[in-house]
Amino acid sequence: LNRDGVFLPEAGNTVVRHVVPGSTTAAALVDLQGRLKALPWGHRFAYTDVESYHMTVFNGAIETLRAPGHWPEAVPLEAPVDETTGHIAGRLDGFEGPGRFDMRIAEVTPLGLTLTGATEADEKTARAWRDALTGPFTYRGPEHDRYTFHVTMAYVIDWMPDDLIPDYRTALAALTEEFRARLPVVELGPPAFCTFADMNGFPPVMTLPGTGLDPVLRA
């Protein structure tokens, strides 16, 4: 992302749960995006397309992060990203996740939402998915156990002056209270192995079974 808000090439793959198109959640997040843009400092951020909204379940290989712990063991670090995608897709054949899990909003942040399990059991199942996916991906990143689930809605393009920060925190706290009440559960589709050319679109390669949810169709 450059200072003009243009998304730069950043190829990779990942496992995500897309926000269900046409859902109450999707409509609420359109509203939230508009509310964030309308804040006095909203111009300091660039906003992702609503159609790209998703929660990352597991970070895949990414062009600019070629290192052990972030890259499939059997694929050379210099290999094209497309090669890693094909390799991982093959290893995901026959994979089944450990069950359904629902998520709720933990906080509205400058960059979107942080999420947590709707219940303690949901949080444990979400973490179990991450643990299970270390098998086909053949790595476990250093942040694996402390990963924060989230929905990215914006990226910083201009830092905020210190004198704006107290009012900003107050506004975000009010939005957190409102949208947690509006969305007791964030409506997400099943986990899907996806590719991306930049951080503003995540087309699916394959839906992963194990939640009992129907695939989310995306244009």
Average pLDDT across the chain, whole number: 92
Confidence bin at 159 (pLDDT 50/70/90):
confident
- Report pLDDT digits (tens) over 15-54: 999 999 999 999 999 999 999 999 988 999 999 999 999 9
| Pair 18, 53: CB distance under 8 Å | yes
Give the pLDDT score at 219. Answer: 38
Spatial separation of the C-alpha atoms in residues 125 and 163, rounded to whole Å = 41
- pLDDT for 162: 87
Question: For residue 165, what pLDDT is reported?
Answer: 86
> Smallest Cα–Cα separation from 63: which of 15, 14, 16, 3?
14
Task: Confirm whether pTM is higher than 0.75.
Answer: yes
Residue 57, pLDDT > 80, answer yes
CA pair distance 21, 80, nearest whole angstrom: 32
The residues with which 104 forms a beta bridge, in sequence order, are: 116
Confidence of residue 160 (pLDDT cuts 50, 70, 90): confident
pLDDT (average), residues 132-143: 96
d(C-alpha 213, C-alpha 211), whole Å: 5
